[in-house]
Amino acid sequence: MNAIVISAVLGVVMMFCGVFTNSKTAVRTVAIIGLLGLVVSNVLDMGGYHFFEKVNVRGMLSFDIIGLLFNTIAFGSTWIYFLLSGRDMERVGVNLAEYFALIFFVLCGIAIVSSFNSLLMLFLGIEIISIPLYILTGSDKRNLKSNEAALKYFLMGSFSTGIMLMGITLIYGVKGSFDMEVIRQGTLNLTPMIAAGLLLLLFAMSFKVSAVPFHFWTPDAYDGAPTVFTSFMATIVKVAGFIAFIRLFEGCFGDVKGQWQLLAAIITAATLFIGNITAVFQQSVKRMLSYSSIAQAGFMLFALVAMNNMAKEGMIFYAAAYSLATIGIFAVLLKMKDYTFEGFNGLAKRQPVLAATNTVFLLSLAGIPATAGFWAKFYMLSAAVEDGNVLWLVIVGVLCAAISVYYYFRVIQAMYFKDGDPQEIETSRSFKGLLIVIAAVVILLGIFPHWLLNQLYSFFYL
C-alpha cells in the first residue's frame, strides 16, 4: 500500500516541480530523491511498517511477499535507470518534469498489478500503466517515427484492453463477482462461458506482454519510441505485465491448469522461436533488442506454464537479471549516434569501459554461466522440469537460447574484433562508474545466486 500511495503523490509532486522551477538539474534531483524514498518505503512495507494501515481496501488488493519483492526490484531498477539515463531524457523534449511524473504514474500502476485481488483492480492497474506509456512513446512530437509508434501502440493497446474487458465480463456473468477467490472456488472444469473468458484474458495478456502471435506491435513501438523510453518500456513495464499475468492465472484458474497449460506452452514455444529467429536478421541494434525482448518474454512465460514456487522465485530473479542487463545496454546505446551493428565497430579501443560492461550485459542476456542471466534461465527451465508435463518445451528453450547467442555475440564481435570510424562519445566518470557497479552486480548474482536470495528471504522473515 505504501508504494501505491507514495508513487501517485510523487507523480503529482513532479508535475508541480515543473511549474515552480526551470532548472533541469533540480527536477532530476527531485525525481531521483523521490524514487529513492519510494524504494525505502516499499522495503519498510516488506519489513512490516505499513504507513496506510487504516485504509480499507475491501479485499480488492492483497499484499504478499512476492508482489512486494517485485515492487522493490522494479523501483530499484527504475532508480538505476534514472541515474544512468536521466540526462538523456532532456534531449527528448522540454517537458522533463512531466516525463518523470508519467514514469511515477506507471510505477503506481505496477504497484497495483503486483497486488490486485479483484479483476477491477487488474483492469485499472493495466490502464494506469498503459496510458502514460502511450504519451511517453509519442513524446518526440516532431519525429514521424515516434508519432507512428505512439499511434500503433495506442490502437493495439486499447484493442487488447477491450478484449480483456470482454473476458472479465464473461467470467463475471458466470460467477457473479470480480473477486479472484470467488472465481477460483468451484471452477473445477471449464464451462463454455468460463472457457471463452479464459481464452480472451489469455489473448489480452499475451498482447500486453508481447507473446507470439500477438507481438506484431512490439518491434514498431519499441523502435519508434525515443530510445530512453524504450529502455523503460522493454524492461520494467514488460516484467510487470508478467507479474500481472501470473497472478491472474494462478489466482483465478490455478485449479484448472491442466486444461490451459498446453495452450500456454504452445504460445511460449512460438514466442521463443519467432523472437529468436527474427532477431537474427535485424540490422539495427535497437530493433534487435526489441526482438530480443520478445525472445526473453518467451523465457518468462515458462513461469506461467510451470506455475510452481520455483517458477515464481525464478520470475523475480529473471526480472532483476533481465532489467539490469537491458537497462545497461540501452544506456550505452543512448550514447551512440549510429544504432546499426556497424556503429559498434571498434568501440573497445575508444571506450574500453563501455565495451567491457556492455559485454557483461550481453553475456547475461545470452545466458552464459557466471552471469545472472544463466541462473535466471536455469530457474525457469528447472521449474518446467519440476512440473514434468512439458518437457518438450525445455528442449525448445535450450535450442532457442543457443540461437540467441549468435545475435548477442554479433555486438561483442563488432566491439572487439572490427575496426570502425572514430565516433565521438562523451561520457562522464560517474556514468562509467555506475555501469561498472551494475556489471559487478550482474556477475555477483551469477556467482552467488542462492546467497543473495537467502539474504533476501532471511530479511523478510525476521
Partner 1 sequence: MLIERYIYLAIALFCIGIVGVLARRNAIIIFMCIELMLNAVNLLLVAFSKMHHVAGVAKSASAGIDGQLFVFFIMVVAAAEVSVGLAIIVMMYRNTHSVDVNFLNRLKH
Selected binder of partner 1 within 45, 223, 250, 313 (CB under 8 A): 223
Provide, rounded to whole angstroms, the least separation between the CB of residue 179 and partner 1. Answer: 9
What are the distances in angstroms from CA 354 to CA 76, 324, 349, 431, 451? 22, 15, 10, 10, 28
Provide, rounded to whole angstroms, the least separation between the CB of residue 224 and partner 1. Answer: 5
Reading the block at residue 89, the C-alpha cell is 531524457
User: Is there binding between residue 54 and partner 1 (CB under 8 A)?
Assistant: no
Reading the block at residue 395, the C-alpha cell is 528442449
Selected binder of partner 1 within 63, 104, 116, 154 (CB under 8 A): 154
Selected binder of partner 1 within 37, 47, 59, 162 (CB under 8 A): 162
Residue 375 DSSP symbol: H
Reading the block at residue 4, the C-alpha cell is 501505491
Whether 276 and 403 have beta carbons less than 8 Å apart is answered as yes
Provide, rounded to whole angstroms, the least separation between the CB of residue 342 and partner 1. Answer: 17
User: Is there binding between residue 57 and partner 1 (CB under 8 A)?
Assistant: no
Selected binder of partner 1 within 5, 13, 32, 148 (CB under 8 A): 148
Selected binder of partner 1 within 47, 173, 213, 433 (CB under 8 A): 173
What are the distances in angstroms from CA 348 to CA 3, 325, 355, 356, 425? 41, 18, 5, 7, 12
Stretch that binds partner 1, among 8-16, 146-154, 274-282, 439-447 (CB under 8 A): 146-154
User: Is there binding between residue 89 and partner 1 (CB under 8 A)?
Assistant: no
Residue 118 DSSP symbol: B
| Amino acid at position 309, single letter | N
Provide, rounded to whole angstroms, the least separation between the CB of residue 37 and partner 1. Answer: 27
Distance CA 256, CA 171 (A): 14
User: Is there binding between residue 338 and partner 1 (CB under 8 A)?
Assistant: no
Stretch that binds partner 1, among 162-170, 371-379, 415-423, 450-458 (CB under 8 A): 162-170
Measured from the CB atom, the residue of 252 and 400 that comes closer to partner 1 is 252
Distance CA 317, CA 380 (A): 10
Residues for the chain: how many in total? 462
What are the distances in angstroms from CA 271 to CA 210, 248, 300, 378? 9, 20, 10, 18
Provide, rounded to whole angstroms, the least separation between the CB of residue 221 and partner 1. Answer: 9
Cis upstream peptide for 213 (omega within 30°): yes
Provide, rounded to whole angstroms, the least separation between the CB of residue 447 and partner 1. Answer: 40
Over the window 103 to 142, marking each residue x when it contacts partner 1 by CB under 8 A and - when it does not, the resulting string is -----------------x--xx--x---x--xx--x--xx
Whether 302 and 381 have beta carbons less than 8 Å apart is answered as yes
Interacting residues with partner 1 (CB under 8 A): 120, 123-124, 127, 131, 134-135, 138, 141-142, 144-145, 147-152, 154-155, 158-159, 161-163, 165-166, 168-169, 172-173, 176-178, 219-220, 223-224
